[in-house]
A = this chain, B = another copy of it.
Amino acid sequence: MNRHRYGLILAGGRGTRFWPRSRKRSAKQVLNVVGERSLIQATVDRLAPLIAPERLWVLTNDHLRDTIIKQLPEVPRNQILAEPVQRNTAPAIGLAAQILHSLDPDAVMGVFPADHVIGKIPRFRAVVGAAFKAAAGGHLVVIGIQPRWPETGYGYIEFPRGCMAGGAEPLAVRRFHEKPELAKAKRYLKAGNFFWNSGMFFWRADVLLDQLRRHLPRTATVLASLPRFGSRAFSASLKQAFPLCDNISIDYAVLERAGAVRGIAAGDFGWNDVGSWNAVYELLGHDPQGNSIPLESIALDSHNNFVDARGKIVALIGVRNLIVVDTPDALLVAHRDRAQQVGDIVKALEKRNRHDLL
């Protein structure tokens, strides 16, 4: 393991589409929606051979910090930081780069979302290894996921025409594209050289700070003004300074503007961003009737349903394509095709001031 390699796990999201299990204090990344370990625990597990836990850093929010500290006892707790206010990814990544660079001028950092699922971990590790290597050479490196359908919810990375998925060598990125309309997404899929932006980034901390100074000077100045990490004044200063950072993603702020970004056009390593309960259904195994339901459930003439209910038995009769999620104070019953609308329930609860359910 290279001792200059660091991991930054971004764990600030709310993941409202996993309501009623996801709440402010139990967002998607700390839930065990797939398997026994929470998504952030699984993220740490799969990185372990590449980045020792003591070189992992986590950026989250005040609601989740305590839970994450409990879930990740192997990560030093002073490396699990809460953003004073929610900003987008650029300030969070910039903050981490600032700290890492102050601790290790040769730091190379990998940025990983806390709430993705990776099915084929050895392949994933090979890709991450190659990305780190390219990053150590001074490049900004991104990982593209070969698209499996014309998704309109992701950004796309455009590689050179005729590129092949699965090569470990980083390629020059031609352009980044925002979330496309469906027609455009279909063209991307057909073209073959457009890949989903995985949200994983690799670069030297000093290279990233340099980019920030160039493309996001206010944020760069704010972060540079912070006292040394570990000093008494750090925390209070961060609270004052962080809200002054630009609310912008690293994609917009840096990647789309930087001249020479490299990307790995990754083959299939079972990447899934678990964007909804239906994604969980797709990820989990099904019984012969297509149901993903607790072992004790009783299903009569019921097919292709997903049930998450703990401590109680569930009986289904003559129902299809449902998502049923039960918690002590809230129950969701949705058609699988409408899993994306679960966030609308959270919005409705906000309107009603039902903070007890958020």
A contacts, CB < 8 Å to B: 19-20, 298, 300-301, 309, 311-319, 322, 324, 326-335, 337-338, 341-342, 344-345, 348-349, 354, 357
Contact = CB atoms under 8 A, between A and B. Distances in A.
Q: Name the residue in A315, A317, A327 with the highest tally of chain B Cβ atoms < 10 Å from its Cβ.
A: A315
B309 A331 contact: yes
Counting every copy of the chain, the complex holds 2
Given A345-B298, A345-B315, A333 B330 contact: no
Mostly helix, strand, loop or mixed at chain A's interface? mixed
Contacts of A319: 322, 333-335
A314 B300 contact: no
A322 B302 CA distance: 13
A306 to B, nearest CB: 11
A193 B314 CA distance: 44
B298 A312 contact: no
Given A322-B319, A326-B326, A354-B313, A300 B331 contact: no
A344 B300 contact: yes
Contact of A334 (B312, B318, B335, B357): B318
A333 B19 CA distance: 19
14 contacts: A298-B348, A300-B341, A312-B327, A312-B329, A312-B331, A313-B329, A313-B357, A314-B330, A317-B332, A317-B333, A317-B338, A317-B344, A318-B338, A319-B334
Nearest to A19: B315
B345 A330 contact: no
Contacts of A337: 318
Contacts of A334: 315-319
Contacts of A300: 338, 341, 344-345, 348
Nearest to A344: B300
A137 B345 CA distance: 64
Given A298-B345, A298-B349, A348-B298, A317 B330 contact: no
A324 to B, nearest CB: 6
Given A326-B326, A344-B300, A335 B354 contact: no
